[in-house]
Structure 1
């Protein structure tokens, strides 16, 4: 069931089932390889920013640098940028959705990205509320035990 964004912003996503339903309502299934971030406030309400990113590196440990002087891994760069977004939006936590066609079973690449980005976010003090896989047939919860 899709609801207008202004109504969705009023509904706290305080339990895992509600959060998974919201992600499924928004994304439904995978069409291409990309990564999504959703932002939640301190009460678990979704903030009105959803960011997709296609073209991220296949290897989260790939060394990267930017013009601003950042140097580290691809996952560390994303965590650094997420920390800026969290501060700018006043978000309390983030939700990641790893979209890619295929089965619901996580791949080694899925697990590497989920693990490396979660670790990098911890280092940046960016609270990760949850991670999901959007696959060809729907949305699947990506529990930390799945990628530890």
Structure 2
């Protein structure tokens, strides 16, 4: 069940939405107009492409509402899971490798990361968030260089301990 249910749901999801998007684009290429879904995909705006595909299934009103609700729930679940994983990594580093860091660390870091992302998105949209991520990469890279040096020292020390 664990292998087949998710695989079946993914096949169903991609079959329905992928097939619908292809049908809409082919129908639009036949002279009706442009569906605009491929332009969204080419621009890497996948969420907008998903909701544009759902919106164009307006023949069945309740289906559009249900699919929009499911897509929103899945996107929210993905975001929360990704944020929780990132927060776990940060707090594990801060608690010196403890596999179960204090819950208050995770809450503080989760709220901090969420607030910073929300402020950047509200201030200047995605461009500000991308710029901040690039700007933060330099200090993180320097920290990573120190981590590499520490790892190499530790490996050298461990090798000398094993040979003794």
- TM-score norm. by structure 1 comes to 0.23
Structure with greater helix percent: 2
Structure with greater strand percent: 1
